[in-house]
Structure 1
């Protein structure tokens, strides 16, 4: 499985983002339970977020990212970045090949 960074950028007012937040959080947790998402959080300043994901292909992860309530609801755009870590510090060794 490959690793991916999903970089979300809000395209709607924060009130629209906040209205979709409960569905987005449920989507994150469900994908974590399925082993697809390893970590996530807000960007600072709050203009988007980052999700560390794993998947079989860029296409599969992009299709999954399109189902994010923020993206599907028109509140965010997502960039899918494939990432091949060559080093990971203590506690993160499982990220490297």
Structure 2
């Protein structure tokens, strides 16, 4: 699994201009069961995406290159890969 932490590097006014396109990008990978959860940080200086381990790190990097936030230089991405050793039973089907 991956925890993707995005930090905005541009003002929120610029982020808002691409938010619809960013959400459309997210929807594509939710439909493919790659992304599991996402949302803004609090305070709103970026966002977090939880991604399944169904793809390699190299493939995840390719996917994230499609994000309009990345394409327009709006956010920096920090990625943590981990292998869950424990989880709630409700997550069994997606891990």
TM > 0.5: yes
How many residues end up aligned between the 2 structures? 94
TM-score, structure 1 normalization: 0.87
User: Which runs of 5 or more structure 1 residues have no equivalent in the other structure?
Assistant: none
Q: How does 1:5-84 map to 2 (within 5 A)?
A: 5-54=3-52, 55-84=54-83
RMSD value, Cα: 1.5
TM-score, structure 2 normalization: 0.88
Secondary structure of 1:7's counterpart equals: strand
Aligned counterparts of 1:11 and 1:87: Cα–Cα separation in 2: 34
| 2:90 equivalent in structure 1 | 91
Q: Is the 8 A contact 2:34 2:55 kept in 1?
A: no
Is the strand fraction higher in 1 or 2?
1
User: Which runs of 5 or more structure 2 residues have no equivalent in the other structure?
Assistant: none
